């Protein structure tokens, strides 16, 4: 039997500001687990129509006008958000996590896409790292994706789900049909209402920041407090058979993988416990409903339809993934003179490949000669603009003469800026590029072409058939070239000046990760 190593100790005294801040950061990240679990419980509870009406009336609704309209028989994407806002907290929660005046605004510290496929009757989950640096829609300002939920001048003090949905849709090309948000943790109450969660620990693990301290391997039943220690652990250490301690250095990315595993275990146990039992449902939902927000278009009838379609889905077999990224500089990422500290950068074509495999994101077929693009060299290397322009022209794009601007970061992220109505063309351009590349929509005025590519410090034009009217092809390879590459060489790689390394986080449990108990 595993030993929790003093799980009843008080490790987060409210008098410690530093520990309180650390606790708040870790706690809010487990919100995505609760958000998806709420969806599972709520759908199951709605199986009883009258009882479902009562439950549905308790959920807060918010208008999200930027969502795509759901088409019958087509896949459905639900954006699941863990919001770290301090607005509306109880006095005891303020003592533990801080007030809205101390920690202003709201951030989507956890961002996940739940994809429902009516043809396969399967559900898949894709996590977007909270530190992914992305354009904010309608501007040339970049920020972490978690900040897109922050209030703006237009929304006043209210969080801005419209802006967050637009960021996901415009920058990653993912259509969002519905929005589910949990603004704080009722996590412990859910786990306790289930009677605890059983998990297997293959080796001793500990995390000084979350309080996790499993001293012996084995299968144990975690209560709510202990489960929080597991899902918050992002500084995990594990004891090897020879007695030495290893360290999982991927931090938040590995924590996301473990949380995916935890979510599968938790959802399986919820399903096995019988979520259509009204007494148990009430015990679970009373800990969640006051904190839950959904979009006003997410109707009760649509939820009932989801129940019928996905009632046989196996939570333990749910495919999951986290977008591949590259770490920013260890010293902090400075953009336009502001240090954003720890950030991660996108990686193509790995990101697009994952979105295609997990949520079926289709690539549009575009005749490249109809795509007009201006290339702007924003990198630290002279000649990059002309090199990229030559490569794109060789693939069939209609490329305007390149120009250069001073770099605004180090490294500079490559961004495909596109005007409204030109997302498909931006996706066609992105499909021919590799490196730290992302899209961003900008206003329709002030641009000479519908697309403007800001070429950064790590970007490549992929090898593809060179015909003036060719349609977009998935990149098959790329070759290295210098900034003096001529038009006869239609591909180039600009090496990252920071030596950024792509991070692909395995979704398979690592030897030290907790998991479902053996049958």
Residue whose structure tokens are 């003036």: 468
DSSP-derived letter for residue 409 is B
Contact 335, 509 (CB under 8 A): no
How far is the C-alpha of 346 from the C-alpha of 325, rounded, in Å?
A: 5
Q: 434 is written with which tokens?
A: 């590799």
For the chain, helix (H) and strand (E) counts, in that order, are: 13, 28
Greatest CA separation for the chain: 72
SS3 483: coil
SS3 8: coil
pTM for the whole structure: 0.76
Query: Tens of pLDDT along the chain (519 residues)?
Result: 444 433 332 222 233 333 334 433 433 344 444 445 556 555 555 555 555 666 677 788 888 988 888 888 899 999 988 755 444 444 544 444 444 444 444 455 678 899 999 999 888 989 998 889 999 887 778 999 988 887 555 544 456 888 899 999 999 999 999 998 876 455 676 788 778 999 999 999 999 988 899 999 999 999 988 888 898 888 999 999 999 999 998 877 888 888 888 888 887 877 776 554 555 666 666 666 666 788 999 987 887 788 778 877 777 778 888 999 998 898 899 999 999 988 999 999 999 999 999 999 988 889 999 999 999 999 999 999 999 999 999 999 999 988 999 999 999 999 999 999 999 999 999 999 999 999 999 998 889 999 999 999 999 898 653 332 333 333 333 333 333 323 322 222 223 334 444 555 566 789 999 999 998
- Could you tell me where the DSSP H helices lie in 149-251? 161-172, 187-193, 224-231
Contact 273, 168 (CB under 8 A): no
Query: What are the E-state strand segments in 158-241?
Result: 178-182, 197-201, 205-207, 212-214, 218-222, 237-239
Distance set, CA 248 to CA 205, 258, 456 (Å): 11, 12, 31
């Amino acid at each position: 039997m595993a030993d929790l190593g003093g799980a009843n100790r008080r490790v987060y005294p409210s008098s410690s500001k530093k520990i309180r801040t650390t606790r708040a950061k870790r706690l809010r990240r487990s919100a995505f687990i609760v958000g998806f679990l709420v969806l599972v419980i709520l759908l199951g509870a709605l199986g009883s129509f009258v009882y479902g009406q009562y439950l549905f009336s308790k959920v807060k609704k918010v208008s999200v006008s930027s969502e795509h309209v759901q088409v019958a028989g087509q896949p459905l994407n639900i954006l699941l958000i863990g919001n770290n806002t301090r607005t509306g907290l109880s006095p005891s929660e303020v003592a533990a996590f801080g007030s809205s005046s101390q920690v202003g605004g709201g951030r989507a510290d956890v961002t996940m896409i739940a994809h429902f496929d009516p043809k396969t009757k399967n559900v898949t989950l894709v996590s977007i790292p909270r530190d992914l640096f992305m354009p904010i829609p309608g501007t040339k300002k970049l920020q972490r994706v978690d900040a897109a939920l922050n209030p703006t001048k237009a929304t006043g003090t209210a969080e801005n789900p419209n802006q967050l949905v637009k960021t996901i849709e415009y920058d990653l090309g993912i259509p969002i049909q519905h929005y589910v948000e949990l603004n704080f943790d009722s996590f412990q109450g859910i786990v306790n209402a289930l009677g605890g969660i059983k998990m297997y620990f293959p080796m001793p693990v500990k995390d000084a920041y979350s309080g996790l301290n499993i001293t012996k391997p084995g299968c144990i039943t975690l209560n709510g407090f202990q489960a929080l220690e597991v899902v918050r652990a992002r500084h995990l250490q594990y004891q090897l058979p020879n007695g030495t301690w290893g360290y999982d250095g991927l931090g938040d990315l590995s924590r996301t993988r473990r949380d995916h595993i935890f979510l599968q275990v938790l959802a399986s146990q919820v399903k096995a416990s019988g979520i259509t039992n009204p007494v148990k449902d009430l015990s679970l939902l009373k800990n969640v409903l006051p904190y839950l927000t959904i979009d006003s278009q997410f109707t009760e009838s649509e939820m009932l339809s989801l129940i019928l379609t996905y009632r046989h889905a196996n939570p333990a077999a749910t495919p999951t993934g986290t977008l591949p990224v590259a770490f920013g500089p260890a010293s902090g990422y400075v953009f336009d003179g502001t240090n954003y500290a720890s950030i991660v950068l996108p990686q193509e074509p790995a990101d697009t490949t994952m979105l295609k495999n997990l949520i079926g994101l289709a690539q549009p077929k575009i005749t490249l000669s109809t795509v007009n693009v201006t290339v702007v060299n924003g990198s630290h290397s002279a000649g990059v603009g002309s090199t990229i322009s030559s490569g794109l022209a060789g693939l069939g794009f209609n490329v305007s003469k390149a120009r250069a601007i001073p770099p605004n970061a180090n490294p500079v992220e490559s961004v495909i800026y596109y005007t409204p109505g030109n997302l498909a063309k931006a996706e066609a351009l992105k499909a021919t590029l590799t490196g730290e590349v992302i899209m961003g929509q900008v206003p329709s005025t002030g641009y000479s072409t519908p697309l403007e590519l800001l070429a950064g410090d790590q970007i490549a034009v992929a090898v593809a058939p060179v015909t003036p009217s060719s349609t977009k092809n998935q990149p098959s390879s790329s070759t290295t070239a210098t900034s003096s590459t001529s038009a006869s060489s239609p591909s180039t790689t600009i090496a990252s000046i920071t030596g950024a390394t792509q991070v692909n986080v395995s979704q398979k449990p690592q030897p030290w990760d907790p998991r479902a108990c053996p049958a």
